[in-house]
Structures are given as C-alpha cells and as structure tokens.
Amino acid sequence: MTGAIAISALALTGSAAESLFDESTRAQMLRHGDGPVAHIETEYNDLFIAKSGSFLLMSTRYRAESNIHSIVNLMDPDELPAPYTRFMSAGLLYAQQVGRILMIGLGAGSVSTYLARAMPQARIDVVELDRVISAAHKYFGVQATDRVRIVESDARVYLKRHSELYDLILLDAYRELGVPFHLLTKEFYALVKERLAPGGAVAANIAGGTKLYASTLVTLRAVFAGVDVYPEYETANEAQVVVVASPASAPGTQMLLQRAEALQERYRFRYPLPGLLKKRVTSHNAEQGELLTDDFAPVNLYETTPLKSRLR
C-alpha cells in the first residue's frame, strides 16, 4: 500500500496531466518479491522481467549473459536508472523545435514517459514490436494516451509506410547484443533523414567498444553532416553511447549551451541538459569502421569485435 501511495503522489506532480502508466499495475509489481518475474518468448528476443527493490528490469540473454535493456523505478516515474537513457535527451539540443518526437523502441517505456511528463506540449509516437508492447503494458503499466501513441510495427516498415515528419527521432531498438542490422545501414539512416522536419535531429543509442560502433559512426557520417557523441562513461568506446546526428553541421558549443539553458528553464528536466552537454565528445574517430549498407552489414561479426585502440 505504501508503494501505491508513493506512485499516486508522483503521478500528480510535474506536467503529467494524463495517465502515462497504470498506477495499480506498478503498485502490484512493487509488492512482488525480488527476483525473476516473467520469461516471454518472442520471434526476435527472449525477454526476461526481473525485480530488485523498487526497480523493475527488462532484459534479454545471449548465451549465459544477461543484457539489461530497460529499467524503471516503480516508485519514481521520472527517474532514468540506466545512464544512457538520460543522454537520449541530448538530441533535444540539436532540434530547432521539439513538437513532434518519434521513438523507435519502447522497451519498458522509461524514456517516452520521462519526456512526455516533462514536455506537456510534445506529441510522441513510439514504434515497437507487439510482444514488447504487451510486456511493457502488463508488467510496467505503460499506456498510450492522446499525446503518446504506441504503434506495433517494425521500425523500417513504419518509416516506409508513413510520411509524417518529426523534429526529433530517437533510435533505441535492441535485440540480444545490439541494434538489428537493418536499422544500422546507410539506407535506413537515409530513410530516417527523410522523415525529419526542417531543423530536425536524430539521437541513437549504440553499444560502444566494437568495430560495429566505429562502423555505425562511419555510416551515420555518410548520411548526416553533423555527428556528435555522448558516451556513458569517459571514453566513447565503453558501454553505451548516444550519437546525435543532424542534416546540417552540428551547432557550436555556445549555441548548444544556450539551447540547453533555455530548454532546462522551460521544462525543468530531472537530468539537467547543461550537465548532459558536458559529456559531448567532438574529437572522435572511426578509423576501424566500414560503411554498412543493406548489401554489406556483418553486424553479428562486428558487434563482438573489440577495437584495437580507444576512440576519442
């Protein structure tokens, strides 16, 4: 009962005038014992739901290794426990306006909920596969609203069939070890670029430290004029990396700082944008990377091939 009260109190704060998640579902999960909660077999992934204290996790497994893809604090919907999810907000600094947002990959709904609660005027479309959507709803209480639309589709199919333009497109679709190969190629990024509104930007979550990471940078640079990196840790070849790309050259540091301060003043983000900007890496390279195309995308090989030297 204490958990239910805490959730209700938080749901009434900030800009959440609508129900982005079902409070009773989260309260029920809060009462659930720690440890495994569910195993869901899907066509693309085996999903595992587990609980630790007030944290509910969605993960996949590759061989004996567990790969956590999404974490939600059942008692605090504005917390982003996974560090990389906070850096997805850096994409806001590069978009000239942020009225329409497309998110590829729902997971447990932590990022879409965070942005929707902080930005009451934004309209967010989220594209995800059906079994992930049902798991997000059943265990994490994620709900669609008038402002947050959840669409069951493959991301590339959705972009081909829909011509809507977005101010910001967030790419966070994952399977076992990384991003599906058809969402990493030059052709895919060109399609994403076509769906950007004038002045729009893209933020993509990518695993660092492998040849696939370097190849993703090469491929993004072949499509976008501006590419900046926001690593989870001090170097861009460790853990998760958020890459922000734009059709025009990336804004200078001073302009980004002005945007960060203005957006922070307006929306009061839990994780201040000026602080995220300090993680920006501009002098990085991708010497060991190769251009990924629909005809050449050896993702399974590259995602396990470590880089020989650090990428800065």
pLDDT per residue as tens digits for the range 26-39: 999 999 999 999 99
Q: 311 in a domain, yes or no?
A: no
Q: 309 in a domain, yes or no?
A: no
Residue 7 is predicted with a pLDDT of 35
What's the whole-number mean pLDDT along residues 210-228? 93
Residue 212 is predicted with a pLDDT of 87
Q: 181 in a domain, yes or no?
A: yes
Q: 63 in a domain, yes or no?
A: no
The domain of 257 spans: 82-302
Q: 45 in a domain, yes or no?
A: no
Number of domains in the chain: 1
pLDDT in tens, 105-116: 999 999 999 999
Residues in CB range of 298: below 8 A, 6 or more apart:
none
**Residue of 161, 93, 94 lying closest to 127 (CA atoms):** 161
Pairing of strands 35-41, 46-52: antiparallel
Q: 66 in a domain, yes or no?
A: no
Pairing of strands 196-207, 148-152: unpaired
Residue 24 is predicted with a pLDDT of 97
The residue type at 223: V
Task: Specify the residue for token string 């704060």.
Answer: 13
Q: What is the CATH number of the domain that holds 290?
A: 3.40.50.150
Residue 238 is predicted with a pLDDT of 56
Q: 105 in a domain, yes or no?
A: yes
Q: 162 in a domain, yes or no?
A: yes
Kindly indicate the confidence band of residue 311, based on its pLDDT and cuts at 50, 70 and 90. very low
Give long-range contacts, CB 8 A cutoff, 24+ apart: 301-304. 301/211, 302/210, 302/211, 302/212, 302/215, 303/177, 303/178, 303/207, 303/210, 303/212, 304/177, 304/210
Task: Specify the residue for token string 């599906």.
Answer: 180
- Residue 230 structure tokens: 């926001």
Residue 14 is predicted with a pLDDT of 40
